[in-house]
Structure 1
Amino acid sequence: MLCTLARSFGTALARRSSWSTARRRRLLATSPPPLASQQMPRSYTLDNGPKVKSDHRSGTMVEVARVIREQSGVDVGYHTIPKPRDHLLQHEPKREELPPRTMLDSHTTAILPLSSSELIRESYVNHLGRVRLGRIMEELDMFAVWICHRHVKLPKLPKGVPLPYTFVTLLVDKVEFTNLERLQVNQDIEISGHISWAGRSSMEITIYVRQLAHGEYIDVTKAIFVMVARNATNTGPAPINPIEVGDETEKLIWEQAEKRQKVRKSSAMDSVFNSPPREHEQALMYEILKRTTPANSMDLNKRVLPPKCRWMEDSMQSTMIAPFPENRNAQNTIFGGYLMRQAVEISFIMASIYLGDRPTLRCISDISFMHPVHVDRFLQLTAHVVYAAQNYVQLMTVAQIWDAKSGKVQTTNVFYLTYRADKVLDEVLPRSYREMLWYVHGRRKLLGALHLQPEYPDPIEVAKESSNHIST
């Protein structure tokens, strides 16, 4: 509960923050019935912010996948050695040859026809009769590739020659879900989006998902993908068309995207895996150690579990998958959307077991793709409960690839998923220092997902400001 969160900050926060005691107590100790009732505005809110709109339609997602395959020159049929694409390298353009494109040029809408096809519907329904969100994430990845195809325009590409590009998913920003209880499995789902930022070879893509049900549109999610253009053989970056800001709406979208670029760079360095926990987080770790160590005992290896708590090491589920060729691209590597679907579904299983009930997915945070998954490797997915507060639980799902011949194991993805429950949950506690770091990181992710992350002054920056003040 929030009182637990308040206690965990300890006196370290009081030393670091310039807030008044009354204000700090209001922020950390107020206990409304559910955390979800605390709404704070941010750039990902579905009903706020500028949007690009057009009448362009791309048909169904099945048709989108077919056109992508045709434009990429990918034949139907699996070959253990991928079909050579070296001949396409000669058609790779120079950046100065590429005409500017607006956001409107890439905007389009595609449909998941759940209302008209019982056969398609069966692939998107879970055992509870609800829409499989893992499938939705998989479709969003394919749609992001389609937006890349629509953005890239090569004036000198001969007719009939496949597009000399390979588009790969670099990362997915925070994906927030809303109105899931109103999402119908027998109504069409509409996916729309456009390029919202472009560099030399990387693109940010903004995607919206909504559903027309009972005469009104229901917003489901807004997702932001970062894609990278690679050459035809996926051996190096490839240039893309620059963005030409079209109107005031596109200008605002571009400015927001520029801010997100800066946040991504700073967030990567601020990870608890790259830098030590902050002072108040160290106080939190110490408090957990005190709570789980027997009083008046010098046995440092003995730990006790407080009431209504669970050990983190006991709150995990793992599965091993053979990613078959049906989920591959032209280089015989597995689609990022397939990995996202599998991660969402094992996370749902772990959250269900932890809750003892059906969880509701609230947010997916910061999916990064570190290494490709080849079709001849095995994929292991492990879902860990790393933080729980009141009626929310934070999962960290790690994807690793196994090479059976060499025995090498490599982490390829880390997913952070926030679920909501209809009851107060047991607290999850770490035993080892590594689990302590997971706990702190998971706590950051949950607070960020719920817009409860407070701002803390950096002690180094405060010291600098004090020194500057003295010197003047």
Structure 2
Amino acid sequence: MLRAFFGRGFIVRGPINHTTKSLRFLSTEFKDTISKSDNSTKQNIPDFKSEMEHWEKMLKRYPVLPSETSSDISYYKKFDTLPESFETTNSKDQLVLKTISDSYCELWLPFRDAPSLLNQYVNQQGEIRVGKILEDLDRLAGAIAYKHTSDIDGQIKNLVIVTAAVDRIDIHEYLDSDCIYKASGHVVHVGYSSIDISLVLNKVLSTEEGSSEKPCLTARFTMVARNRDTGKAEQINPLMLSSEKERIAFKTSELIKREKSLLNKKGLEKTPPNFVENNDYNSSSMNKDFVWLDDTTMSSVHVCFPSERNIHHKVFGGFLMRVGHELAYANACMYSGANPISKSLDDFSFTKPVNVGSILRLTSQVIYSSDLDSTEQSHDDKHFQVSVKVDVLDPTKQTIETTNTFYFTFESNSPVRRVIPRTYDDMIKYIEGRRRSQIGSFISNAQQI
């Protein structure tokens, strides 16, 4: 059950009570070593193959024990056997007032000391696959949300948590394969049924490098709770703010929600491009060094197998993010003629669930790049945006339904040609990319308040 929800390689921590048939979490206190005298714990280590002897040497440095799986190593302390689905409570107990620290969870990715784990995250150039990190962040956000919505005994209530939207993901530092990373997060804002979660991926530094951790990635997820039986919005536990820092984070979330609401009201489906946007599009056509937007199209098709399902037997949202990023990265490589760096994932929503067995068609295009003479502070001539539209194909009904569109920003190591729309539809995509780039920059700046 633990791997069925959290996926592989997860360490989940946080102050919460637990029972035999409920989701369990480790305490928030992190110890630097494991005592050699803890014989009772060592008896729980499985009989590893020869290559697993390497992990024994690592136990002195991590507060967790390795457990053999079919293809990799998952890091967690001893848990009792859990069922393949959540045991939930149907009790009508009162809501529990939770603090921000109550929802804290963390995930360790010790790439430097775990070659088998690294093999799953590294690409052909020896770099960390950002798509795999996005997949893990979605799992971590789900763990945090379920933790906040649990009852006073630590049991999961009769509800379903789904990823509604990703507000913004910023990659601040290059992700090195010869490092140790820790992803952590907690709830920062709750509504009636919505949960805003702030995540950060830190590089764990050695004592010689000075400070203990260095932020490399920040993210904001919005999760929503639904009643398992009715599918309607379910009220969740309220959030108690105990410090000025927590109150600022709460207000920042409200500010971001207002700005996103204003952007949606000005969406191109409701309001046409304004004069400035039209003028920018028309003047951009004068640039000689350009590529037509529709010439940057790249697509792929995936069949959604049961291995990609979540605990609710729908396709895992993190899987969609991973395959979306991988297609966007391939397109970005072709467009820039090099290996670009992933910089951000802009605001998007999961509008419809994807069933196991669905056929996915992903369509990617480079939809926006800044002008060589641009004065925008958030971009320069090395940045460009790639969209990935995810369609669900139904072979029985012969229908096509769009579930969501991702917007990734990349940075090339040299100036790139400007992308130019050739048709009105392409112009709409171009302006939409520019607008999302602007709101993404606003969210990034707001999180630094």
Corresponding position of 2:290: 309
1:251–1:333: structure 2 CA closer, same or farther, 3 Å change rule?
Answer: same
1:166 aligns with 2:147: no
Q: Which residue of 2 aligns with 1:190?
A: 182
Instruction: Tell me if the contact between 2:159 and 2:225 (Cα under 8 Å) persists in the aligned partners.
Output: yes
1:402 maps to 393
Tell me how far apart the structure 2 counterparts of residues 140 and 154 of structure 1 sit (CA, whole Å).
Answer: 24
Query: What does residue 40 of structure 1 align with?
Result: none
Instruction: Note if contact 2:149-2:156 (Cα within 8 Å) is conserved in structure 1.
Output: no
* Aligned residue number for residue 44 of structure 1: none
Q: 1:372 to 1:116 in 2, by over 3 A?
A: same
Q: How many aligned positions are there? A: 365
| Match among 121, 128, 132 for residue 129 of structure 2 | 132
Q: 5+ unaligned residues in a row in structure 2: which ranges? A: 1-26, 31-62, 66-72, 371-380, 445-449
- Measured in 2, the distance between the counterparts of 1:254 and 1:68 equals 36
Could you tell me how far apart the structure 1 residues matched to 2:80 and 2:315 are?
A: 16
SS at match of 1:174: strand
Checking the alignment, whether the CA contact within 8 Å between 2:180 and 2:203 is kept in structure 1 is: yes
Letter of the 1:315 counterpart: T
Measure, in 2, the Cα distance between the counterparts of 1:279 and 1:135: 41
How much has 1:274 moved relative to structure 2? 2.7
1:267 aligns with 2:263: yes
| Percent identity over paired residues | 26
Contact (CA 8 Å) 1:171, 1:369: kept in 2 or not?
Answer: yes
Shift of 1:144: 0.4
Residue 273 (structure 1) shift: 3.0
Which residue identity does 1:333 align to in structure 2? K
What secondary structure, in the 3-state scheme, does the structure 2 residue paired with 1:266 have? helix
**1:2-401, aligned counterparts within 5 Å?**
55-56=28-29, 62=74, 70=82, 73-75=83-85, 91=90, 93=92, 97-155=94-152, 163-180=157-174, 183-214=175-206, 215=209, 216=211, 217-233=213-229, 235-288=231-284, 291=286, 307-389=288-370, 390-401=381-392
| 1:241 counterpart letter in structure 2 | N
CA distance in 1, matches of 2:80, 2:368: 40
SS at 1:246 equivalent: coil
Instruction: Please report how far the alpha carbon of residue 285 of structure 1 lies from its aligned counterpart in structure 2 after TM superposition.
Output: 3.3
**Distance change in 2, residues 1:74/1:166 (3 Å):** farther
Q: More helix by proportion, 1 or 2? A: 1
Q: Distance in 2 between matches of 1:69 and 1:186?
A: 34
> What do residues 303-331 of structure 1 show as CA deviations (whole Å, max 9, x unaligned)?
xxx63211111101100001211110233
Instruction: Name the SS of the counterpart of 2:344 in structure 1.
Output: strand
* C-alpha separation in 2, matches of 1:67 and 1:265: 43
Counterpart amino acid of residue 124 in structure 2: H
Measure, in 2, the Cα distance between the counterparts of 1:254 and 1:137. Answer: 24
CA distance in structure 2 between the aligned counterparts of 1:110 and 1:189, rounded to whole angstroms: 8
| C-alpha contact (below 8 Å) 2:256/2:443 kept by paired residues | no
Letter in 2 for 1:272: L
Kept after mapping to 2: 8 A contact 1:173/1:223: yes
In the alignment, what sits opposite 2:18? none
Letter in 2 for 1:143: L
> What is the CA RMSD across the aligned residues, in angstroms?
2.9
Q: d(CA) in 1 for partners of 2:130 and 2:188?
A: 24
Q: Could you tell me how far apart the structure 1 residues matched to 2:77 and 2:190 are?
A: 23
Once the two structures are TM-superposed, the CA of residue 444 in structure 1 deviates from its matched residue by 2.6
| Inter-partner Cα distance in structure 2 for 1:213 and 1:393 | 31
**Deviation per CA, 1:421-448, whole angstroms, max 9, x where unpaired?**
1211111111111101111122233445
Relative distance call for 1:350 and 1:92 in structure 2 (3 A) is farther
TM-score (norm 1): 0.71
Contact 1:363–1:419 (8 Å) recurs in 2: yes
For the 8 Å contact 1:59–1:111, the answer to whether it is kept is no
- Higher RCO, 1 vs 2 (CA within 8 Å, ≥6 residues apart): 1
